[in-house]
Chain A
């Protein structure tokens, strides 16, 4: 979230799309209801199904799964056409005025792709996706193969009148002028009048140029689970920049995380292409620490009269401190801070690739903790086939689950090859959340410490104890037997008071970081002694005198103690800041980019919702929240509020390497869709999507009879694949079902409670029909199209499963493995199926 849960109470308008917070985040949803009760805020719910969120919305639009970019692009078009935009914000805080390279071409002019598309490689040469240099000179691309991208120009050409036909604003206007209400109706299935009503309602916060109101966009995995998921979220961010809603109380682009600590997992580099704090991993081409830093540290690129803080210019400080945490004294300036010890990532090692590698026999074993792999990934059948080929599998869980019993899956039983499976499975009894201490990082970036409520039962052990013991055994082996390259293991820093079970408070202290030598702030003369905890990331150095495991977490565990354990509920400004409750990254700041909550002169857009402001007497930024800005940067210096971008401003146009599939989002159909892309039939799908080509990777078409749009979802009453083991949850919703619209059911002669079989090109799923008025047939390009939804909580292990009440299959046997090229997330939401009576 750019903002946070509590901040939602400050909003005037909520667009909830690609998420169903009333059902999946009911506690956080209280703030949406607060906004309705206290501010008369409105909710627009856009969803393939009428959900419990829709039931409290002021307007509901039923959208065809996977057409979100068409809808959002249409709202951008509506806002521009009706002048519902934040002009001053747009000109000064975004790159709307920046002029783009004349070689850049929009999909409307290039047959549905952006300039630079290479058909053979199905990838883009992105060098034309750049700003024009103020002098007119072009930056030369390198000559080495593959050619590295040119840098962004230091001085960007710009036009504050926004009239230059090649400025970002004019390109944006041109690009989305094609997203008319008429075409949106044909693509999304939302009738024109309903779309116009929703677009009018959402953009009404900028009616008549008013800047006081704020609108928020709230989403979850209904947006990320697409072969263009990142670009949906981009479209939302652009819309919010256009309306001046980013950095504002009650505004922002707010991702709702589906687990208690998914945000923490991402912050701590749960993804393969980052190291903690979203620093980019080194690749084999980075021959040295300095080369790695040179590649990953941006240089400022802006209009000459403006300033850009370009905070990522500090990347080497964050990276050096990370290396000192990892390798301690073994990381020296001479050995490039032990750069050679750090793994280099040579290709895509995302989730689906790891399973694909196991399927193809190159990955021989798996440690599976805190997740039910065969159930949560796409194409469960392929994942089960992959596990069959593994030598070993270790599952750390609190229940026996579908992964730890993959050899009992109905597919294996049906194929009769259980005896042929040679995989050795080790089940390790782990601890539940109430049996562990540690911190959760919630959607709002708040780290909240918790204590263990009860001890672990029986032989159950904590995850960190299991991982630590494995590591220490491996280290002993390296000590005894040597090996090709033992140093990264032998020299890994492991200074915990209990090496076999590292206390998590010590790990958190390590993430916060400490001084390795006596430090002094040159301005304030504040001193920190060697060994003391650092107050925050501003103290980090790239000379080896600081250690910090995750720069964005620096400040969470200081000399004053564990800040994440604080529980002071007070909120003097009544803005939902609660600065003494837990600790939020970065720097305990609750709303990101909050400099943008003020006009160019540093005065809040809305004096009744003051977040930060320029204090002329003190000559610095002050406020109810921690200013997300250089504290002494005077408004007249015109430093951009988006300090993490090299441009200093928000990116309506995302240049160069930012995204794999385009600097503006373009609507592409899901990989399986009932129609060709109405914008450009020859280019229906995201041209740079990742697909596999193994026997299990099949894709269905309407011509093959797969003509019903299907999406998957979660219920309030269940939590993933765990609560099916809990009698209370099972009582609330006892068995799986398939949501089918009343008209479709009527046409097929299906009554509620009758079993139906849903099949995709990959597998099938049988459950009882829930016939409902909440899903209506849609007219897609004039053709009646049905859509269904399936909650995914069941499998072949659990209370109902053991009683034989379910089909014993998993919903993800239906979904496929085509992934977003940026985030590598599979397309769980929006694929094609057949529906028949079972």
Chain B
């Protein structure tokens, strides 16, 4: 990924300050998805595949119009289709474009132990650097939206980059460009929130959606992808969008207050190693061979 025109704001597994973080902050970019004007045409899915040159995968019929059950390492943009029967018996067919939310406080980044495998640019884009990825999969558990996926062959994790390569050149993400209905917008976070709030107000006042609202969850510090929902009180209807997502406590503790514990444990392990060597000497060769054989048995 070209980083020539992007400035890193946060770095995974990195001690010390972020280089250049004293520089003036760029405005945060944001994608606005108005689910009330999404027609589920999947142009964004195709554009994502094509721009990112993602390889085709097999899909199987699964009693739905949804292309596949969830995003894949090689399928970053997926419209979720959900049939919802309202209390009055009328039907809603909810379509929500699902992809990385580009959280302001990214759980993936917080969970990642590898220096530089996940970065957040000053414009808010959270980007995986596969060259630095160690394949531990911690980012997957750290994500409250279940987005990053691992390629089992290469043990590297992938997800939507918000087309950082396009954005860095002043272009909109590929999905935005392909959307035929104007359901997708791209711009500064401030502008997108403004458009989203106005649209939600219009839906409340002129259409039959009294609970329309904007999804920009504060549990992860707000997101670089915001939704307009017909019913903002029930985001779960839209394919399990969490109503109050946050970074898992385990990740928060482990990478926060308890980080010293890990470091202490690591130090303890090292001390133990040295003490073991001093006490018992080097390992016998015969034993090593035997253990290796046992290890080979499944």
Contact = CB atoms under 8 A, between A and B. Distances in A.
Interface string A23-65: 1001101100110110010000000001011111010100000
Interface of B: 36-43, 45-46, 49, 56-65, 67, 83, 85, 90-95, 180-183, 199, 202, 206-208
A695 interface: no
Contacts of B49: 728
A56 B207 CA distance: 11
A774 B183 contact: no
A746 interface: no
B39 A29 contact: yes
A732 B46 contact: yes
Contacts of A55: 39-40, 92-95
Contacts of B41: 22-23, 26, 52, 716
B92 A732 contact: no
A33 B184 CA distance: 12
B61 A773 contact: no
A752 interface: yes
Interface residues of A, number: 38
Interface string A731-752: 1111101000000000000001
Contacts of A734: 58-61
A400 B95 CA distance: 36
Contacts of B95: 52, 55
Interface stretch (A110-118, A298-306, A764-772): A764-772
Contacts of B90: 60
Nearest to A27: B180
A370 interface: no
- Contact residues of A: prevailing secondary structure: mixed
16 contacts: A26-B41, A29-B39, A29-B180, A40-B206, A40-B207, A55-B94, A56-B38, A58-B208, A716-B42, A728-B56, A731-B58, A731-B59, A753-B63, A768-B63, A770-B63, A770-B64
Contacts of B37: 33, 36-37, 56
Contacts of B43: 26
A54 B95 CA distance: 12
A48 to B, nearest CB: 14
Nearest to B208: A58
A463 interface: no
A717 interface: yes
B45 A732 contact: yes
Nearest to B89: A776
A52 B39 contact: yes
A727 interface: yes
A56 B36 contact: yes
A731 B92 contact: no
Given A728-B56, A731-B57, 7 more contacts: A22-B41, A29-B181, A52-B39, A55-B40, A56-B38, A60-B90, A768-B63
Contacts of B58: 731, 734
B63 A771 contact: yes
B182 A34 contact: yes
Contact of B93 (A33, A34, A50): A50
B39 to A, nearest CB: 4
Contacts of B40: 22, 52, 55, 716
B93 A732 contact: no
**10 closest pairs, A vs B, by CB?**
A752-B63, A55-B93, A22-B39, A26-B41, A40-B206, A33-B181, A27-B180, A773-B83, A26-B180, A734-B59
A772 B42 contact: no
Nearest to A737: B61
A727 to B, nearest CB: 5
A702 B62 CA distance: 32
A220 to B, nearest CB: 15
B46 A773 contact: no
Given A732-B45, A768-B61, A30 B56 contact: no
A732 B207 contact: no
B85 A33 contact: no
A732 B41 CA distance: 10
| Of listed A54, A55, A717, residue having the most chain B CB within 10 A | A55
A53 B41 CA distance: 11
Contacts of B65: 733
Nearest to A26: B41
Nearest to A54: B93
Interface string A703-737: 00000000000001100000000011001111101
A772 B58 CA distance: 23
A356 B206 CA distance: 54
Nearest to B43: A26
A721 B181 CA distance: 26
A769 B41 CA distance: 21
A502 to B, nearest CB: 35
Nearest to B45: A732
A143 to B, nearest CB: 60
Contacts of A735: 61
Nearest to B60: A734
B91 A60 contact: yes
Contacts of A23: 39, 41
B36 to A, nearest CB: 7
Nearest to B64: A770
Contact of B180 (A30, A52, A737, A753): A30
B34 to A, nearest CB: 9
Interface in A364-391: none
A54 B90 CA distance: 11
